[in-house]
Amino acid sequence: MKRDINIFEFPLNLGLKKKDHETEPGVKKLPEWLRKFDFHRAINPNNIFRLEAPEYSMELDQESRVLNAKAIIKYAKEQADFITKNHQENTFNIMLGGDCSILIGTAIALKKLGNFGLFYLDGHTDYIPVHLSETAAAAGMDLAIITGFGHEKLTHINGLNPYFSEENIYCVGNAETDDKEYVDQILNSNIKYFDLDRLRKNGFGRTAEDFLTMINSKSLDGFFIHLDVDVLNDQLMPAVDSRMEDGIDYENLREILQPLINSPLCFGIEITVLDPDYDENGMYTQALAKNLIQIIKNKED
């Protein structure tokens, strides 16, 4: 990569519902865990910015019926201001979660900065209304929220609804395809949708190139990449909140991400949901860090 790089750390876990055996979701430890495996050193960013997150809670918002909605909204506003204050022109931004609800704050920031597209690479669609959610957790509804599908408390922060237009989004990699009602939500949207089977048929690199063609044809100001590591095959990355057996491998990940990251229109990428509590010796994280470093820095083995 020829551009300068900044790392933003957003260790938020309020978008997940803790499991019965957990004190709290461990995804908040992701930035430090990647640092332990030399991610930060190898990336060698110009700056590392960090916005501390509030303590974990399990407060169900009575209006929106979304878990921890009030605290998530407050953090999203702070995060958006933090990004707009610290981002720099011609710099690639790496956002480290945290859970997927950190996308809300980034989406608000990008809405303030212009008209952006989104490449949503995830093992789930995260595009459902709250009544279809088994957990009421925002991380499982974040794609819906940022496109204006949900309660206005979350979708209309600072009067900016929608943060992303559905027509400017690719949702790629969903492996949760056996629930018709779940999948129907995104099929009935204007989002360009590639479940795992369609992604494989279309081709990983071709899907990325098609997205770039769309971005250029619409003269958008740029685009952002969301990467939930649960899009990876479970054998490669089981240390996630919601495991799916099927998924892509690291070669597929490189084919998808390389052309996107190499584009000067790419504002950056967020990396979410890896939980160090489920990777005690760091075996899975070490492989992820190695591959992401190679992809971002455009290096071979």
Query: Mean pLDDT in runs of 10 for the chain (301 residues)?
Result: 94 96 96 97 97 97 98 98 96 97 98 98 97 96 98 97 98 96 98 98 98 98 98 97 92 98 97 96 97 87 47
Residue 1: the pLDDT is: 78
Residue 299: the pLDDT is: 61
Tally Cβ neighbours within 10 Å of residue 58: 12
**SS3 category, 170:** strand
Residue 301: the pLDDT is: 47
Judge whether 37 and 285 are in contact, CB under 8 Å.
yes
Dihedral sign of CA atoms 256, 257, 263, 269 in order: positive
- Classify strands 47-50 and 91-96 as parallel, antiparallel or unpaired: unpaired
| Rounded distance between C-alpha atoms, residue 187 and residue 134, angstroms | 20
Q: What is the pTM of this model?
A: 0.97
| Rounded distance between C-alpha atoms, residue 210 and residue 81, angstroms | 32
Cα dist from 39 to 113, 227, 291, whole Å: 28, 16, 10
Question: Which residues lie below 8 Å from residue 298, measured CB to CB, with a gap of 6+?
Answer: 1, 258, 261, 262
Helices (H) and strands (E) in the chain, counts: 11, 8
Residue 242: the pLDDT is: 87
Residue 300: the pLDDT is: 53
